[in-house]
């Protein structure tokens, strides 16, 4: 079997095109969507992420407000900024780029964000709503994975799904979304035994462990769908996912590439969440 490539760039472009129309509707009703971006310190990867988020936002007409703070910014100062953004009626969404510098209480900062402006979906209230099956904001990467599965028309009801990784921002919310889509879900992590066997039983594999090509192609069940969240840079500079792509693509029915799979979806889903917030403010949803 040769897998269908689930093209994240194409799927993201479609979502961003829809976003442009939704932004126009908001503008007609009053004020367009606005995202406040908080970046602390000078971590090069974070700077790249923030730049690409702001570039895409500009493309679809979402305004951004930049808050760049020095690496020695303290928790109290950050909390004060978050509270000011919470109170600002012109700000629909607040994004605090992670990781925050060591010494900053990241938990406290994320919890201080008004849940109605928490477009990353990391606030406990939004995670709780997701758990209850009534989500307000679904975290962007998990949402992107589900949209890619939908694009590939992957059948989830009754399917055996394996999520590799149990982080709060990726693995756990994806597992929850798959449960709600009626899949039978197993969550694997660093203490899981006989991982290859777990993978070989799964109809749907979501890999989010951050280990380059750790999941061997030969483990993949014939006809399974594979979503590779991992982004790993090899010493050669090449980017690879958590799955051994070429060998897995021989066995899977559908697979996401790295790069060009989940990555572009994460930013598109973030902007979609910001527009959701603006639509709620304007009573459009």
Catalytic residue annotation? 53, 97, 120
Binding status of residue 192 toward ligand NDP by CB under 6 A: yes
Binding status of residue 165 toward ligand NDP by CB under 6 A: yes
Instruction: Give least dist CB 196 to ligand NDP, A.
Output: 11
What is the per-residue binding string for ligand NDP in 252-271, x denoting contact by CB under 6 A? ----------xx--x-----
Instruction: Give least dist CB 203 to ligand NDP, A.
Output: 19
Instruction: Give least dist CB 144 to ligand NDP, A.
Output: 7
Of 25, 52, 167, 184, the residue at the interface with ligand NDP (CB under 6 A) is 167
- Which phi and psi angles does 164 have, rounded to 5°? -100, 115
**46: CB partners within 8 A, 6+ apart:** 39, 97, 98, 99
- Return the closest-CA partner of residue 149 out of 163, 131, 135: 163
How many of the chain's residues bind ligand NDP (CB under 6 A)? 26
Q: Which of residues 211-250 bind ligand NDP (CB under 6 A)?
A: 211, 214, 229-232
Of 170, 175, 202, 270, the residue at the interface with ligand NDP (CB under 6 A) is 170
Instruction: Give least dist CB 26 to ligand NDP, A.
Output: 25
143: number of CA atoms within 13 Å, CB side?
24
Binding status of residue 166 toward ligand NDP by CB under 6 A: yes
Give the number of other Cβ atoms within 10 Å of residue 45's Cβ.
Answer: 11
Instruction: Give least dist CB 145 to ligand NDP, A.
Output: 9
Region from 25-33, 150-158, 166-174, 177-185 binding ligand NDP, contact rule CB under 6 A? 166-174
Cα distances from 15 to residues 8, 11, 78, 177, 272, in angstroms, run 10, 6, 32, 19, 8
Q: Are 243 and 226 in contact (CB under 8 A)?
A: yes
51 versus 189: smaller Cβ distance to ligand NDP: 189
Region from 9-17, 24-32, 67-75, 208-216 binding ligand NDP, contact rule CB under 6 A? 208-216
For residues 280 and 29, give the distance between their C-alpha atoms in angstroms, rounded to a whole number.
12
Region from 19-27, 50-58, 114-122, 204-212 binding ligand NDP, contact rule CB under 6 A? 204-212
64 versus 141: smaller Cβ distance to ligand NDP: 141
Q: Are 141 and 169 in contact (CB under 8 A)?
A: yes
Q: Are 266 and 208 in contact (CB under 8 A)?
A: no
CA-atom Rg of the chain in angstroms: 19
116 versus 161: smaller Cβ distance to ligand NDP: 161
* Residues β-bridged to residue 207: 164, 228
- Return the closest-CA partner of residue 203 out of 222, 190, 188, 187: 222
Instruction: Give least dist CB 125 to ligand NDP, A.
Output: 21
- Angle between helix 44-60 and 8-29 (nearest 10): 60
Residues in contact with ligand NDP by the rule CB under 6 A: 141, 164-167, 169-171, 188-192, 195, 208-211, 214, 229-232, 262-263, 266
């Amino acid at each position: 079997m040769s897998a269908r490539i689930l093209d994240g760039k194409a799927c993201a472009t479609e979502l961003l095109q829809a976003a442009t129309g939704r932004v126009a509707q908001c503008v007609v009703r009053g004020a367009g969507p606005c995202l406040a971006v908080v970046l602390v310190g000078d971590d090069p990867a974070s700077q790249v992420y923030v730049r690409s988020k702001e570039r895409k936002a500009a493309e679809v007409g979402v305004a951004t407000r930049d808050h760049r703070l020095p690496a020695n910014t303290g928790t109290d100062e950050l909390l004060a900024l978050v509270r000011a953004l919470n109170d600002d009626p012109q700000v629909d969404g607040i994004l605090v780029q992670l990781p925050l510098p060591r010494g900053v209480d990241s938990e406290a900062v994320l919890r201080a964000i008004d849940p109605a402006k928490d477009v990353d979906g990391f606030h406990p209230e939004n995670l709780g709503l997701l758990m209850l099956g009534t989500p307000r904001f679904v975290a962007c990467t998990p949402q992107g994975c589900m949209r890619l599965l939908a694009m590939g028309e992957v059948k989830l009801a009754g399917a055996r799904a394996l999520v590799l990784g149990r982080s709060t921002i990726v693995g756990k919310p994806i597992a929850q979304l798959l449960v709600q889509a009626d899949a039978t879900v197993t969550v694997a992590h660093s203490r899981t035994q006989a991982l290859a066997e777990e993978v070989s039983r799964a109809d749907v594999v979501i890999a989010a462990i951050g280990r380059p090509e750790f999941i061997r192609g030969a483990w993949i069940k014939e006809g399974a769908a594979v979503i590779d969240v991992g982004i790993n840079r090899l010493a050669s500079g090449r980017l690879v996912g958590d799955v051994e792509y070429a060998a897995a693509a021989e066995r899977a029915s559908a697979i996401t590439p790295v790069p060009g799979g989940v990555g572009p979806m994460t930013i598109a889903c973030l902007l979609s969440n910001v527009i959701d917030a603006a639509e709620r403010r304007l009573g459009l949803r």
